[in-house]
Homo-oligomer: A and B are copies of this chain.
Amino acid sequence: MKHIYSNAIGTFVFDEKFNVIDKSLFKDVSRLSELEKLELISEEKKFLEKYSGADVIGFKEQIKAISDENTLNKLNPFFDKNKKAIRELVISQTKKSIRESVTDDLLIIQTIGSIDETTKIINMMYRRLNDWYSYHNPEFSAEDIEINRFCELILSKDKKNLLRELKVSDTMGKDLSKRDLSSIFLLAKEILELFKLIEKEEKYLTEMMSKICPNLLDLAGHVIGARLMKHAGSLKNLADVPSSTVQLYGAEKALFRHMRSGSKCPKHGLIIAHDFVAGAINKGKAARQLADKISLAVKVDVFGGKKDYGKFLLKKLIKNKGK
């Protein structure tokens, strides 16, 4: 009866009394940290084939064997001799796999996270700006104009001009001093800066996505595509889930409420923001069709298919709209 025992520096074969009868070290132990150069797998395979009848000691048995004093004494010379090398090897292996775990997916997910967060921040700052500026000029509130347009206008025109355009003669606002206003305008300038930040990040996001998932990009757009990836955790995960899951990503709350209390089942999650769904009369059907195509496109991206399949799918989708 032979036992095979593997650890980070090599594989050892023992007889039933745990004497080492053969070993295959992973090449030069002193050079273990330069792992890339070692052909681990092929060496290992050959060695294991040689002892194919032997009993491979699993993790539990290894622990048990090591706990036994006799066994330990026999194994100790190997451990002692190579302790430092093993430690270094394990650390550098871990570092390498951490290094390799950083994929373009993660960068995309961080970018869309940052974009969504910055949008929230803009809304937060804008609420304060609107409050603060309304002491000066409450008639010019930004209810029907875009936030960035509002900031630009209050920065570029003074109160009189803005009121003249609104045809308001009697204002409720106090005429604040230049110093007071300059402090309010700091906030408006900051908001415009944040808009620029989002713009740049969206550009980067589009670049990244056209590199790793051009079909998803063409079909879903950069924002929705990236949000779906963020929701799934990675592009591969997104390719793994069925299209009905893609359809409901972002509607988990409503879905679980439906499952628990029998309320209506949600028909769309994140993808409601897509023009194809938002503009459809039957939104549930449109969401199902789009999710179906997104699922296809992502699979093509992950398994390295054609780069213009997304465009083709989108055309097909629009052609069959409402059918």
Contact = CB atoms under 8 A, between A and B. Distances in A.
A114 interface: yes
B98 A110 contact: no
What size tier do the contact residues of chain A reach? 35 or more
Contact of A95 (B124, B131, B172): B172
Contacts of A125: 117, 121
B132 A110 contact: yes
A179 interface: yes
A174 B102 CA distance: 7
A135 B98 CA distance: 9
Contact of A117 (B91, B94, B124, B197): B124
Given A170-B33, A194-B190, A204-B179, A128 B102 contact: no
B186 A197 contact: yes
Query: Majority SS of interface residues in chain A?
Result: helix
A106 interface: yes
Contacts of A91: 170
A170 to B, nearest CB: 6
Interface in A177-214: 179-180, 182-183, 186-187, 190, 193-194, 197, 200-201, 204, 207
A95 B170 contact: yes
Nearest to A97: B172
Contacts of A99: 171-174
A113 interface: yes
Given A95-B170, A172-B98, A190-B194, A135 B107 contact: yes
Nearest to A98: B172
Contact of A131 (B110, B121, B180, B183): B110
Contacts of A107: 132, 135, 176, 180, 183
Given A95-B172, A186-B197, 14 more contacts: A98-B138, A99-B172, A106-B135, A107-B183, A110-B132, A111-B183, A117-B128, A121-B121, A121-B124, A121-B125, A183-B200, A183-B201, A187-B197, A193-B193
